[in-house]
Structure 1
Amino acid sequence: MSIRSLMKPMTLPSFLIDNAKISNTAITPEIRLYLGKGYGRGFYLAPYYRYTKFKAETVKVEYDDDAGDPQVLTMGGDITGSSFGLMLGAQWPIGKHFVIDWWIIGGHVGSGSGKIEGETTQTLSANEQAQVLDVIEEFDLPFIDEEFETNSNGASVKMNGGWGGIRAFGLSIGFHF
């Protein structure tokens, strides 16, 4: 991967934004290490692990068949990520049973992979496959290696590479027993 590919802005293709239904599940267990004022008071460091799963449905790829009529290939699939991170925050008690928790900043890095694919009910010609390939090749994310494939039955995009994110500013009020 070149420096140039890392510096390009992330843009999602219009076929993904316009049509796709995307859902997400994330599980993030963390441990808090309080710095100085005892358990549940003051600043803390919170190492954490995050598992994330994205599910994409109804990703519609439009192309023209050999007769010039518009056609749609519907694709879908899953992308999962696994990462480790560290967050800085602070917590203060309010009275006997309430706390204010401030997530100041955090970040996580790891790896992810997935596959989005679709099958047609009709056989795709070489020209139709080339059109579908041109559309799905718009799916280009930084830090991710993509493998694009079309055949007479449909298309697929396999992804594998870096995964990460930022946890920036959160404020919550908690109740403890």
Structure 2
Amino acid sequence: MPGPDLSPKYVRTTLLLMMTSLFVTLVGFSTTAWTSSDVTLPTPFGDALTSHVTAGLWRACVDDACGPVKVDNGWLLATRAFATLGLLAGIMSTILLLLYIFVDQTHNDVIYLDVIITSLVQVSCILLAVCIYSSNTSVQLAWSFAFTIVGMCLEFLAALILILKRWFRHDHEGL
């Protein structure tokens, strides 16, 4: 019976990379720190109030008060759409890799290629999301944005390992 003990080491490494990528991407996707800035407002008393403002894809915070992000522009909707598609593709690629590990060997060739394709779809969608967001914001990008990029890079590394093992293996019989 197939399982994690019988699968090659590179498959287990790829699974670890994909699961880490999924977690890191999910954290970046759902937290409120894609951008961060300090806003200083003068008061009538001659001093100034400084507030720390962070915004994510879904919520924004001013100091400790948070609320939903008002969507009045197309670029934020596009960013949300591509980030969501990327996250769903990451979930799908992880599930497919688990199927590759636990399903009978006769079906693995198709599943293996599906894992590669869905991983690359995730990388492409997240790349589009971060490019759209970063080109349309004028404040400092923050750690949630960075987490999303790190998750994308981990997924790309996992896909690259699978591609290299698939096309540059020494034995040319099956996987």
TM-score (norm 2): 0.32
Higher relative contact order (CA 8 A, sep 6+): 2
Q: Which protein is richer in strand relative to its size?
A: 1
Structure 1 or 2: larger helix share? 2
TM-score by length of 1: 0.31
